[in-house]
Amino acid sequence: MKTIVWDVDDVLNNLMQEWFEKWWLPPRKDCPIQYNQIEENPPCKLLGINSFEYLTSLDEFRLSDLGKNMAPIPEVLTWFHQHGECCRHIALTSTPLKTAHISAAWVMRHFGFWIRSFNFVPSLRENDCFPVYDASKQEYLRWWGRADILVEDDSRNADAARTLGIKTIIIPRPWNSCQATTAEALAHLSGLVGL
């Protein structure tokens, strides 16, 4: 049985779009860009802000009711309902330590029927001080050594996973070069697991 490793934000949910359209934009009606123009992640330069401002706003959203109550991406949830039992599944995300419990609860609430393990590589914030076991998803995956497929939105993480011999699926987002639709990416995933 193959093991699929799922990123959480922008793979199982639409974090960037939800944050941008429901949190960032409402008080900034003069923002010159739309979600589909966020061609880099993080979008600090595009928004004319520094990294601290962006991460603070994103973390505030994650901790808000809006963040806690994001809906799963419908196509992904449908894929799990149709094919989830064919593989083992784990979540591997990069989130700050102060929001990891919310991400874990969200994953278990929406995908816990299939995803039995929540893992994260802390996304460092100012003044964080805790043990660093893995500085990247690549380091985590190398240590863990059981992944067959990684489903990601960040091409850099996908490229790093490929160096470990892990197959990858990219979920299309404005900041990556994936030309497929989400449905096509998930169909490719189905092919990789032999469905």
Query: Band of the pLDDT at 176, cuts 50, 70, 90?
Result: very high
**pTM assigned to the model:** 0.96
Residue 160's pLDDT is: 98
Residue 4's pLDDT is: 98
Give bridge partners of residue 92 from the DSSP assignment.
Answer: 119
| Cα-trace Rg, the chain | 16
Residue 195's pLDDT is: 86
Q: Is the pLDDT of residue 89 over 90?
A: yes
Ramachandran angles phi, psi of 57, nearest 5°: -65, -45
Q: Is 92 left (phi over 0), alpha (psi -120 to 50) or beta?
A: beta
- Domain residue ranges of the chain, discontinuous segments joined by +: 3-14+71-192, 16-68
Over the stretch 106-157, which tens digit does the pLDDT of each residue have? 999 999 999 999 999 999 898 888 898 999 999 999 999 999 999 999 999 9
Q: Is the pLDDT of residue 82 over 90?
A: yes
Residue 184's pLDDT is: 98
Residue 124's pLDDT is: 87
DSSP symbols for 114-152: TEEEEEEEE---TT--S--S-SSHHHHHHHH---SEEEE
Over the stretch 6-64, which tens digit does the pLDDT of each residue have? 999 999 999 999 999 999 999 998 998 999 999 999 999 999 999 999 999 999 999 99
The mean pLDDT of 89-107, rounded to a whole number, is: 97
* Calpha distance 130→159 (Å, rounded): 28
Q: Is the pLDDT of residue 91 over 90?
A: yes
**Which CATH topology does 3-14+71-192 take?**
Rossmann fold (3.40.50)
Residue 97's pLDDT is: 94
